[in-house]
Amino acid sequence: MRYLDAVALAKLKNLRFDVRRHLAEGHLAGRHRSLRRGFAQEFAQHRQYVPGDELKRLDWKVYARKERFFVKEYQEEKSLKATLLLDASGSMGFAAGARAPKWESACRLTMALAYLVLAEGDAAGLLTFDTAERSYLAPHRGLGHLELMDEALAKAGPAGETDLAPVLRRAAARLARRSLVFLVSDLLGDARSILALIKAFRARRHEVFVLQVLDPCERDLDYEGPVLFESLEDSSRLRCEASLLRPAYRDLFQRQQKLYQASFEGSGIRYAAFYTDTPWEDTLSRFLAATGLRRC
């Protein structure tokens, strides 16, 4: 797969969503059923072993017949559906210097999250968007769903302007009951409008995770001399002396980031900023640890 290769899977082998702990602490309360390891109530099915599975769940009788490792899955009274919302607007194609575009990092991050959800036996879906919905895959269980998600991302590509309002409203309408919602975006735009839209998911009692993907240059504006800035979402241009603009820009950026941090924290929304000069797996590991969803 393009965005979840063997190297990425190796980096994910010690990361898991500790959903049971999350539920026990009162998040996503409610009774529903799912496939999950541990505290089994009744056998549900076999699933091929993936790195990180508990060895005690291996079925050695199946191994003796097929010479491949399988684990047992059981029915529980907890179930989760996760929908990953990925910003595919033009600004996500930005890259400074030799760094990879934000889109590349965002796709890898999205696939990593989908893998972690599916590896727990839960369902994951994908919605890509700019000013409107680009593609949608309904949540399904099974690691085989990753192939479809990877194909959808490979076909998408960043382009066009961004308008979160209609997209998030439609996404909210698709979610029939409380779910996990992951928004992967650079969150560039009117911060207060974006916050109001994202908070609407919490008002519907969804569990919301916001992962902001940025290039360090969008934080630092570390250009020198006269610079011609060209929008990736429309035809606008601005020529200016970067050093003159930098102090005001950095102040504005920091104020926006502090607004996001405080507003998300106050609304019970999990948030982290991912910069493209930092390995995504490091930031993801810290993010999961901070949210109480990491288990090594």
Q: Point out the domain boundary residue: 25, 50, 76.
A: 76
Which carries the bigger pLDDT value, residue 206 or residue 43? Answer: 206
Provide the pLDDT for residue 51: 74
65 within domain boundaries: yes
Residue 78 has pLDDT above 60, yes or no: no
Provide the pLDDT for residue 251: 97
Provide the pLDDT for residue 40: 38
**Per-residue pLDDT averaged across 142-170, rounded?**
88
Residue 30 has pLDDT above 60, yes or no: no
20 within domain boundaries: no
pLDDT digits (tens, 9 = 90+) for 188-197: 888 998 898 8
**Which band of pLDDT confidence, cut at 50, 70 and 90, is reported for residue 293?**
low
251 within domain boundaries: yes
Which carries the bigger pLDDT value, residue 173 or residue 227? Answer: 227
Q: Point out the domain boundary residue: 76, 104, 131.
A: 76
**Per-residue pLDDT averaged across 25-33, rounded?**
45
State whether the Cα torsion 232-235-240-245 is positive or negative.
negative
22 within domain boundaries: no
296 within domain boundaries: no
- Number of compact structural domains in the chain: 2
Domain that holds residue 38: 33-76
Q: Could you tell me if 72 and 211 lie in one domain?
A: no
User: Of all residues in the chain, what percent carry a pLDDT higher than 90?
Assistant: 41
**Which band of pLDDT confidence, cut at 50, 70 and 90, is reported for residue 138?**
very high
Q: Could you tell me if 221 and 134 lie in one domain?
A: yes
Q: What's the chain look like in SS3?
A: CCCCCHHHHHHHCCCCECHHHHHHCCCCCCCCCEEECCCCCEEEEEEECCCCCCHHHECHHHHHHHCCCEEEEEEECCCCEEEEEEECCHHHHCCCCCCCCHHHHHHHHHHHHHHHHHHCCCEEEEEEECCCEEEEEEEECCCCHHHHHHHHHHHHCCCCCCCHHHHHHHHHHHCCCCCEEEEEECCCCCHHHHHHHHHHHHHCCCEEEEEEEECHHHHHCCCCCEEEEECCCCCCEEEEEHHHHHHHHHHHHHHHHHHHHHHHHHCCCEEEEEECCCCHHHHHHHHHHHHCCECC
**Per-residue pLDDT averaged across 122-126, rounded?**
93
Q: Could you tell me if 152 and 253 lie in one domain?
A: yes
Residue 43 has pLDDT above 80, yes or no: no
Q: Could you tell me if 252 and 285 lie in one domain?
A: yes
Q: Could you tell me if 42 and 133 lie in one domain?
A: no
Which carries the bigger pLDDT value, residue 266 or residue 39? Answer: 266
Which carries the bigger pLDDT value, residue 33 or residue 13? Answer: 13
Q: What is the mean pLDDT of the chain?
A: 84
Which carries the bigger pLDDT value, residue 54 or residue 31? Answer: 54
pLDDT digits (tens, 9 = 90+) for 88-121: 999 999 998 889 999 999 999 999 999 999 988 8
**Per-residue pLDDT averaged across 134-154, rounded?**
93
**Per-residue pLDDT averaged across 202-217, rounded?**
91
21 within domain boundaries: no
19 within domain boundaries: no
Cβ distance 150 to 111 under 8 Å? yes
Q: Could you tell me if 122 and 143 lie in one domain?
A: yes
Q: Could you tell me if 132 and 168 lie in one domain?
A: yes
